[in-house]
Structure 1
Amino acid sequence: MPMQDPFDILVNGIVYSVFPEEDNVYTIFKAGVEFGKIEKDTENIWLKLNSETEMPMFDNDPETNQIGQAITNYVPEEEDEDEEFE
């Protein structure tokens, strides 16, 4: 699967920049400041990763879930032609 390009989402009026990593892990910037990495756990549950250990934190953070749902719902804009990165 090709690496996704970074994209922006809007959650509660705040712009989050999403940088896809590997295996359902995303680095998130909130209004230009690093928010941290989040990981998809189940269909509706997203977990924020500990910034030092990168282990999931099971604290059921509503903001993290809202970001995750916006990522799930995000549809990339169709481009006219496929661009290959070298």
Structure 2
Amino acid sequence: MQEPFDVLAGGVVYSVFPEEDNVYTIFKAGVEYGKIEKDTENLWIKLNPETELPMFGDDPEVNRIGEAINNYVPEEEDEDEELE
């Protein structure tokens, strides 16, 4: 499973905790923002906090976070440090 990571979207840093099947738990300023799910390449959906069912509707913030997740490149560990 992928490790948690941070992304910058719209000038805000979000902490991203990957779940299963393109679902991510998002934290904004240390507070749980909610879960989002990738619907299509450019469309992301926020999940209902109680039922975890998709809440359809255009949410620009969710789409910005999703775009940042799509663009995220994990940092490679420095192999030289492991050899020393």
TM-score (norm 2): 0.91
Which structure carries more helix by proportion?
2
Question: Matches of 2:16 and 2:73 in 1, distance apart?
Answer: 13
- The match for 2:72 is 74
Give the Å deviation of 1:59.
1.2
- The match for 1:19 is 17
Q: Give the fraction of aligned pairs with identical amino acids, expressed as a percent.
A: 80
- The match for 2:62 is 64
> How many residues are matched?
79
Question: Matches of 1:67 and 1:51 in 2, distance apart?
Answer: 17
Q: CA RMSD in A?
A: 0.8
Give the Å deviation of 1:9.
0.5
Q: Which runs of 5+ in 2 are unaligned?
A: 80-84
Question: Matches of 2:58 and 2:20 in 1, distance apart?
Answer: 22
Segments ≥4 residues shifted beyond 3 Å? none
Q: Which runs of 5+ in 1 are unaligned?
A: 82-86
How far does the alpha carbon of each residue in 1:17-69 deviate from its partner, in whole angstroms, 9 at most, with x for none? 00000000000001111000000000100000000000011111000000000
TM-score (norm 1): 0.88
